[in-house]
């Protein structure tokens, strides 16, 4: 009967040690995932900022195209030809 208790105690001991090792491994894995998440969030923030800059640049470019089109249409303006350009030096 004592032999059976010793085997049970040894089995429980091995189970506790194995569980403790698994807990440590999982905590390390969780930390690794957290660090990776922080990097991905930083990359997301940088990409969001870049996207905002690109959208602003696009709006600026479209605005310039719109202004040029209105200048041509409403005011009859055009880009001068090379022969029409005069350079004035003081």
* Residues spanned by the domain of 46: 14-73
Cα distances from 77 to residues 18, 38, 47, 60, 80, in angstroms, run: 82, 53, 40, 21, 9
Q: According to the model, what pLDDT value does residue 59 have?
A: 86
Average pLDDT, the chain: 91
Establish if 28 belongs to a structural domain. yes
Cβ-proximal residues to 77 (8 Å cutoff; 6+ apart), any chain: 71
Establish if 60 belongs to a structural domain. yes
Establish if 5 belongs to a structural domain. no
Establish if 84 belongs to a structural domain. no
Establish if 78 belongs to a structural domain. no
Question: Which residue would you say has higher pLDDT here, 28 or 84?
Answer: 28
State mean pLDDT over 45-59.
94
State mean pLDDT over 52-67.
87
Establish if 23 belongs to a structural domain. yes
Establish if 7 belongs to a structural domain. no
Per the structure, the count of domains in the chain is: 1
Establish if 9 belongs to a structural domain. no
Question: Which residue would you say has higher pLDDT here, 77 or 27?
Answer: 27
Q: According to the model, what pLDDT value does residue 12 have?
A: 95
1 pLDDT higher than 80: no
């Amino acid at each position: 009967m004592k032999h059976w208790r010793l085997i049970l105690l040894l089995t429980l001991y091995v189970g506790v040690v194995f569980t403790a090792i698994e807990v440590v491994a999982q905590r390390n894995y969780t930390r690794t995932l957290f660090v990776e998440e922080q990097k991905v969030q930083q990359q997301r923030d940088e990409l969001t900022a870049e996207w905002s800059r690109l959208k602003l640049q696009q709006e600026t470019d479209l605005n310039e195209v719109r202004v040029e089109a209105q200048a041509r249409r409403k005011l009859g303006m055009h880009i001068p030809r090379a022969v029409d350009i005069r350079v004035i030096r003081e």
